[in-house]
A and B are shown apart, each in its own frame.
Chain A
Amino acid sequence: MAESAPKEQGRFNLFKYLDNWWFGKGSPTTLGVFRIIIAGLCFVNLAMIAIDFTDWYTESGFVPQEIAQRYAPNVAKAFQFGEYRVDLPFDFPRINLLGGVESTPITALFYALVMAAAFLTMVGLWTRLSSIVLAIGLITLHHRNLLILHGGDTALRQFVILIALAPSGAACSLDRFIAVWKGKAPASPPLISLWGQRLIQFQIALLYFTAVWFKWQGSHWRDGTATWYISQLREFNRFPAPEFLEHQPFVGITTYGTLLVELALATLVFYRPLRKWVLLAGLAMHGYIEYRFNIPMFAFVVTSAYICHYDGDEITGWARRFGERYRKLSLKVWLPAGKRMEGPRADAIRNADPLGIVEYREGETTEWGAETYSGKTRNPFVASCIRSVGAWPIAGLWKKLVLQAPVEGSSAASSNREKEREKQPAKGKGRSR
């Protein structure tokens, strides 16, 4: 949990409070989980658009370079300061590595590279590099063809940029698994400055706040008829909704309800006692929009950011409580006699199980074994992999890793070594920025 701001001389210091809220240190778990979700959504989004790649990204499609560049607004280079006008001698560049590129194979290769970067960012491998490549790649693709973008793409781009800038690989990543395995990082992720997570919270709040302000300028949102118009746009039709929802008073209820929920998502969500209810209302609103209207990915992208309103410790706590509640999913893995799970490799294996439902114990036989909660025997490697969410990206290597993790020796000797280890400071390169 972010460290609370100290009160000076018993008085509330707003600057210190804001500084601590924005930049105070906390668990990187939230950012890690958000990184997985948003990069995964980005991958899916790119895959969906790739189906019509020829129409959208080639010279023979609807948006060749000439159209794309004419549609993209010029970046201002003339500025007016009162009576004075300043004309800069150059255009401000826009990130667009495909600017002027007319070759379909090169564009397709670039597109595939961005998808690969999305996948690597999702699993957290070479996270800093892959997330930066993803951000630059996605910005490029958006600038290459602005005509097909909707609000979900804009939100996705903001989030991808933020996870590239923030230390989003500090938790829930293969990078971290490898670092712990090699003994270069401690078992518990080091605290990081939470500015990245705060920026995401601010971004989503700004999205909703300005959306409400924009809408309030419209007569239909004020007079309670806005959702009637949207419901009549057949091109947005998806699944059917009960007809009464398209009549007053339900049109008014959904119109004003949308404004209220969005305003709450910009304001009340920061008030902890109401946070859960506001987010649930947001999920309900977006859930209905996703069901009723054909606006692909928008609801998923926007609601994925809701997780950033929770501290990393809260998310870790949820995972553990989930594991405790669903005990029947638990698994005991019996190590061969004379082996025990200790050391950095064991820490990495255990870290891959955020629910805490896999327990590794010294066995009495020479073989590996596993037993479920109900006493059924299972293949220890397959069963532990299924139950360790962090193992899924490396499922092909899991058995090999688990076999390499244990160390020799009895548990009596190990408890003495544990005590010695606890006395020593943690080693590793846990960077926090």
Chain B
Amino acid sequence: MARRERNAPIWIKILVWVHVIVISIKCLPPAPADAIGPAAKRQLFGSEYILYYNGKLKPFLEPYLWATGVWQSWDMFAPNPSDWEGYVTATITYKDGTVREYVFPRMYELGLGLKYFKERYRKFLERAHHDSHSWIRERFALRIAAKNYTDEANPPAKVELHRHVSIVPPTLTFGAYLRNLGTAIGNGNLSMKVLMPDNPKMPPYTDNAYYTLVVKERDLRELTGS
């Protein structure tokens, strides 16, 4: 009997299948937090069991994922989009007492072309401002001081970071919209307000000073190489 030619070597087939299985396990979301752990408020349901047992396998995959660079997670705007609209400024007090405001690159205020190139600043801030990464703040403030160190005789002495935050208010859900629409049609008082209801207004930004760095001149000179 003639030997059938392989379409690909066995070792490639094995590697492909292992890779497919590993990244599939990695990419599946975790089980809902309110259904697992000692503080669970409810039982797992249906496909959530798959997520629960899948989650137990994930730690074993980390060496493969991180060593090869194939780690991945597709939780963009998930489980919910952020409702945190904000930016950071710094109040820089110089040695001679003068005060200057610095705005960490804010996409909203940049031109259409420039913001496309500077988006990394927004992404960095999304992670760096977070309370869970408070250890980044010292370096963040020091770098801002370095960026504003223009006169050797008058270095920044203090940097105060401010978060300006506006939380996006909830709007009418789609289900509520349909119910209102049905009621209005039933009552014969359909109007533009029902067809296209108003949205809540964004609240004004709140200003919160969340970190202060007393700048050591030695650190500043080391950073700027002066």
Contact = CB atoms under 8 A, between A and B. Distances in A.
Nearest to B31: A217
A64 interface: yes
Contacts of B39: none
B74 A207 contact: yes
Nearest to A142: B69
B62 A92 contact: yes
B59 A76 contact: yes
Contacts of B85: 232-235
B8 A195 contact: yes
B95 interface: no
Interface string B26-60: 01110010000000000000000000000000011
Contact of A22 (B16, B24, B83): B16
B173 A214 contact: no
Contact of B74 (A62, A76, A151): A151
B29 A95 contact: no
Nearest to A250: B196
A239 interface: yes
Given A67-B139, A226-B80, A248-B174, A235 B72 contact: no
Given A94-B66, A221-B80, A433-B9, A236 B107 contact: yes
A208 B74 CA distance: 8
Nearest to B127: A147
Contacts of A377: none
B116 to A, nearest CB: 5
Contact of A239 (B87, B112, B178): B112
Interface residues of A, number: 92
B211 to A, nearest CB: 14
Given A195-B12, A217-B79, A244 B68 contact: no
Given A151-B74, A193-B12, A195-B8, A60 B224 contact: yes
B168 interface: yes
Given A210-B74, A211-B78, A235-B107, A62 B124 contact: yes
A266 to B, nearest CB: 11
Contact of A148 (B60, B124, B143): B124
Interface stretch (A44-52, A175-183, A271-279): A44-52
Interface size class of chain B, counting residues whose CB lies under 8 Å from the partner chain: 35 or more
Nearest to B13: A23
A433 B12 contact: yes
A92 B23 CA distance: 18
Contacts of B118: 52
Most chain B C-beta atoms within 10 Å of own C-beta, residue among A51, A199, A215: A215
A143 interface: yes
Given A70-B135, A210-B74, A256 B81 contact: no
A223 B79 contact: no
Interface string B2-18: 00000111001100100
Contact of B124 (A147, A217, A236): A147
Interface stretch (A105-113, A154-162, A353-361): A154-162
B99 interface: no
Interface in A210-262: 210-211, 213-215, 217-221, 223-230, 232-239, 244, 246-249, 251-252, 255-256
Contact of A221 (B70, B78, B112): B78
Nearest to A151: B76
Contacts of B117: 48, 51-52, 296
A295 interface: yes
B69 A247 contact: no
A147 B123 contact: yes
B116 A247 contact: no
B120 interface: yes
Interface in A172-198: 193, 195, 198
A115 to B, nearest CB: 16
Nearest to A233: B85
A218 B174 contact: no
A259 B40 CA distance: 28
Contact of A214 (B75, B86, B121): B75
B29 to A, nearest CB: 4
Contact of B78 (A93, A198, A218): A218
B68 A210 contact: no
Contacts of A238: 112, 115-116
B143 to A, nearest CB: 5
B170 interface: yes
Contacts of A138: 69
A99 interface: no
A5 B123 CA distance: 47
B16 A195 contact: yes
Contacts of B210: none
Contacts of B67: 75, 92-95
26 contacts: A23-B16, A52-B117, A60-B225, A61-B143, A62-B128, A64-B139, A70-B135, A75-B66, A92-B63, A94-B67, A138-B69, A195-B16, A211-B75, A217-B78, A220-B80, A221-B79, A223-B174, A229-B81, A229-B82, A235-B86, A235-B87, A235-B106, A238-B116, A247-B196, A294-B122, A295-B119
Give 4 closest A-B pairs by Cβ, nearest first. Answer: A224-B174, A252-B174, A218-B79, A139-B69
Interface of B: 7-9, 12-13, 16, 19-20, 23-24, 27-29, 32, 59-60, 62-63, 66-83, 85-87, 106-108, 112, 115-124, 127-128, 133, 135-136, 139-140, 143, 146, 168, 170-175, 177-178, 196-199, 202, 223-225
Interface of A: 19-20, 22-25, 48-49, 51-52, 55-56, 60-64, 66-67, 70-71, 75-77, 79-80, 92-95, 135, 138-139, 142-143, 147-151, 154, 157-158, 161, 193, 195, 198-199, 202-203, 206-208, 210-211, 213-215, 217-221, 223-230, 232-239, 244, 246-249, 251-252, 255-256, 294-296, 433
